[in-house]
Structure 1
Amino acid sequence: MSELNPILAASAQSTEAYQQAIAQSSQAVVQWLQQPEMYQGKTVAELRERIKLDFNPQGLGNQAAIERAIEYFLKDSLSVHHPQCVAHLHCPSLVISQAAEVLINATNQSMDSWDQSPSATIIEMKLIEWLRAQVGYQPGDAGVFTSGGTQSNLMGLMLARDAFFARQGHSIQQDGLTGNLKKIKVLCSENAHFSVQKNMALLGLGYQSVTLVKTDRFARMDLNDLTEKLAQAQANGEQILAIVATAGTTDAGAIDPLRAIATLAAEHDIWVHVDAAWGGALLLSEKYRDYLDGLELVDSITLDFHKQFFQTISCGAFLLKEARHYELMRYQAAYLNSEFDEAQGVPNLVSKSLQTTRRFDALKLWMGLEALGQKQYAAIIDSGVSLAQEVAHYIMEQSALELVMQPQLASVLFRYRPVEWTAAGNDEIALLNQKIGDALLESGRANVGVTEFDGVTCLKLTLLNPTVSLEDIKVLLALVDKTAQQLLSA
Structure 2
Amino acid sequence: MRSHLLNETTADLYRRSVTEGVDRVAAKLATTQRPHTGISVDELAPVINGIDLDKPLADASAVLDELEDVYLRDAVYFHHPRYLGHLNCPVVIPAVLGEAILSAVNSSLDTWDQSIGGTLIERRLIDWTTERIGLGPGADGIFTSGGSQSNFHALLLARDEACRLVMKKALDEGRELTKAELLPKLRIFTSEASHFSVQKSAAMLGLGYEAVISVPVDRNRRMDTAVLALELEECAAEGLFPMAVVATAGTTDFGSIDPLPEIARLADEHSAWMHVDAAYGCGLLASPTRRHLLDGIERADSVTVDYHKSFFQPVSSSAMLVRDRDTLKHATYHADYLNPRRMAEERIPNQVDKSIQTTRRFDALKLWVTLRVMGADGVGSLFDEVIDLAAAGWDIIDADPRFEVVVKPQISTLVFRYVPEGDGIRGDLVDEANLHARKALFASGEAVVAGTKVDGKQYLKFTLLNPQTTTADITAVLDLLAAHAEQFLGESLALHR
1:107 aligns with 2:105: yes
CA RMSD across the alignment: 1.7
Give 2:322's match in structure 1, choosing from 320, 331, 334.
320
1:73 is paired with a residue of what secondary structure?
helix
Measured in 1, the distance between the counterparts of 2:34 and 2:5 equals: 36
State the secondary structure of the residue aligned to 1:187: strand
Question: What's the secondary structure of 1:318's corresponding residue?
Answer: strand
Q: Does 1:290 align with 2:278?
A: no
Q: Distance between the aligned counterparts of 1:19 and 1:71, measured in 2?
A: 24
* The one of 269, 272, 275 aligned to 1:270: 272
SS at match of 2:246: strand
Inter-partner Cα distance in structure 2 for 1:98 and 1:284: 20
Equivalent residues in 2 for 1:139-218, closer than 5 Å: 139-140=137-138, 142-169=140-167, 177-179=179-181, 181-218=183-220
Partner Cα distance (2:43, 2:365) in 1: 38
Q: Check the 8 A contact 1:132/1:140 in 2, yes or no.
A: no
Match of 1:36 in 2: 33
Deviation digits for residues 123-153 of structure 1 (CA, Å, limit 9, x no counterpart): 0001111101100111355101100101100
Shift of 1:191: 0.8
Moved more, 405-414 or 122-131: 405-414
Shift of 1:58: 5.9
Q: Note if contact 1:182-1:208 (Cα within 8 Å) is conserved in structure 2.
A: no
Q: Deviations over 1:99-132 (max 9, x none)?
A: 1110010000000001100111000001111101
Amino acid at match of 2:82: Q
The number of residue pairs the alignment matches comes to 481
SS of the residue corresponding to residue 306 of structure 1 reads helix
Unaligned runs of 5+ in 2: 169-176, 492-497
Contact map agreement 2:163 2:182 (CA 8 A) in 1: no
Q: Distance in 1 between matches of 2:55 and 2:33?
A: 37
Q: 2:311 touches 2:380 (CA, 8 Å); kept in 1? A: no
User: Which runs of at least 4 in structure 1 moved beyond 4 Å after TM superposition?
Assistant: none
What runs of 5+ residues in structure 1 fail to find an aligned partner?
Answer: none
- Give the match for residue 239 of structure 1: 241
Change beyond 3 A, Cα 1:62–1:482: same
* 1:266-319 CA distance string (max 9 Å, x none): 111111111110011111112221111110111000000111111000100000
Residues in 1 aligned to 2:4 and 2:246: alpha-carbon distance in whole angstroms: 47
Contact 2:167 2:178 in 1 (8 A): no
Instruction: Give the secondary structure class of the aligned counterpart of 1:273.
Output: strand
Q: Is the contact between residue 147 and residue 318 of structure 2 (CA under 8 Å) also seen in structure 1?
A: yes
1:24 partnered with 2:20:
yes
Q: Percent of aligned positions with the same letter in both sequences?
A: 39
Following the alignment from structure 1 to structure 2, what is the Cα–Cα distance between the partners of residues 140 and 469? Answer: 43
| 1:168 aligned counterpart, secondary structure | helix
Match of 1:48? 45
1:395·1:402 contact (CA, 8 Å) conserved in 2? yes
Go from structure 1 to structure 2 and tell me whether the alpha carbon gap of 1:176 and 1:445 turns closer, same or farther (over 3 Å shift). Answer: farther
Q: Aligned AA for 2:281?
A: G
Partner of residue 15, structure 1? 11
**Residue 456 of structure 1 pairs with residue 454 of structure 2:** no
1:385–1:58: structure 2 CA closer, same or farther, 3 Å change rule?
Answer: closer
Q: Does 1:122 align with 2:102?
A: no
2-side partners of 1:272 and 1:328: how far apart?
17
Q: After superposition, what is the alpha-carbon deviation per residue over 1:403-424, rounded to whole angstroms, capped at 9, x for unaligned?
A: 22211210111111122x3333
Q: Give 2:20's aligned amino acid.
A: Q
Structure 2 partner of 1:429? 430
Name the structure 1 match of 2:96.
98
Match of 2:361 in 1: 359
Q: Which amino acid in the other structure matches residue 376 of structure 2?
A: Q
Could you tell me which residue of structure 2 aligns to residue 446 of structure 1?
A: 447
Kindly indicate whether the alpha-carbon contact (under 8 Å) linking 1:153 and 1:196 is maintained by their aligned counterparts in 2: yes
Shift of 1:176: 9.0
Q: Is the contact between residue 308 and residue 381 of structure 1 (CA under 8 Å) also seen in structure 2? A: yes
Distance 1:453 1:369 in 2: 38
TM-aligned CA deviation for residue 467 of structure 1:
1.4
After superposition, the Cα gap between the structure-2 partners of 1:26 and 1:426, relative to the gap in structure 1 and judged at 3 Å, is same
Judge conservation of contact 2:143–2:364 (CA < 8 Å) in 1.
yes
Q: Tell me what 1:75 maps to.
A: 73
How far has the Cα of 1:259 moved from its partner?
0.9
Q: How far apart are 1:489 and its partner, in Å?
A: 4.1
Q: Residues 176 and 57 (structure 1 numbering): CA distance in 2 closer, same or farther, change over 3 Å? A: farther
Give the stretch that moved more between structures: 54-63 or 358-367.
54-63
Mapped to 1, the partners of 2:427 and 2:364 lie a distance apart of 46
1:466 equivalent in structure 2? 467
256-265 or 476-485, larger mean C-alpha shift:
476-485
Displacement of 1:429:
1.4
| Paired residues for 1:341-420 under 5 Å | 341-419=343-421
Give the Cα separation in 1 of the matches to 2:133 and 2:406. 32
Aligned residues of 1:336 and 1:348 also touching (Cα < 8 A): no
- Residue by residue, what CA displacement relative to the aligned partner does 1:374-409 show, whole Å, maximum 9, x if unpaired? 222121011111111101101122121222221121
